[in-house]
Amino acid sequence: MEVWRRGGLEVWRRGGLERRMELLENEVELVGRLCERIERRGRVLDLGCGTGKLGIFLSEVLGGAVEVTGVDTELEKVKKARENSPSTNITFEVQSAEELAFADETFDAVVSLKALHEIAEPGKALREASRVLKDGGQVFVVDWVGGGGAASATTRKTNTNTNTNTNTNTKAKTQTRSGHARKYFTRQRLEELLLDAGFRGLKIEVNREGELMLAEARKTKIK
């Protein structure tokens, strides 16, 4: 697989087929690590999938090795995700992350991209994620860095797209990020939430810009 930047978007080619995946520059580093570390098997759940960006990226990059299911509470976003998906190994459903309709131990991995902070009860959502994960299953959470990191990051551009036509959008997104900063997790708080939900082997790392963090852990049954 070949991956490179074009017009501010992540572009990949495999088997002569080229697609553009709309990953922002501040997402590429951590999503790339996620793709390297996620086990290429079974079923993957995308919590708070929005319009399907992360789920579609995973289904395309990982190919037929995994089956991806994305859930979001907003019907319009789910409809858009279905429209955006070029793949047959991915589905999108309207569901609450805090009350998932799946049976226990359904998934091999759970992922989330900049969505957990938007959930009213993130601890409950992570406990649900643990419930639907198989024992030993992986969880990956990419989200904004809260606390001092978030305060300093709000002065940076959140969309570092090099396209000159995006200046207005960049300002708007920066303002939005500033307004939401109070909802972001510190590393310590995200660690507490994951540990309380039953995840172990926790690792948290921050991207070069200091804006986003990737938390990685596994479900371990507490005896």
Residues 26-66: pLDDT tens digits? 888 899 899 889 999 999 999 999 999 999 888 888 877 89
In a domain, 181, yes or no: no
Chain-centroid distance, C-alpha 34: 9
In a domain, 150, yes or no: no
Q: How many domains does one find in the chain?
A: 1
Q: Are strands 67-72 and 90-94 parallel, antiparallel or unpaired?
A: parallel
The model's pLDDT over 122-158, given as tens digits with 9 standing for 90+, comes to 999 999 999 999 999 999 999 999 975 433 333 333 3
The model's pLDDT over 171-191, given as tens digits with 9 standing for 90+, comes to 334 334 445 555 899 999 999
What range does the domain containing 29 cover?
A: 2-144+186-219
In a domain, 48, yes or no: yes
DSSP secondary-structure letter at 66?
Answer: -
pTM value is 0.79
In a domain, 153, yes or no: no
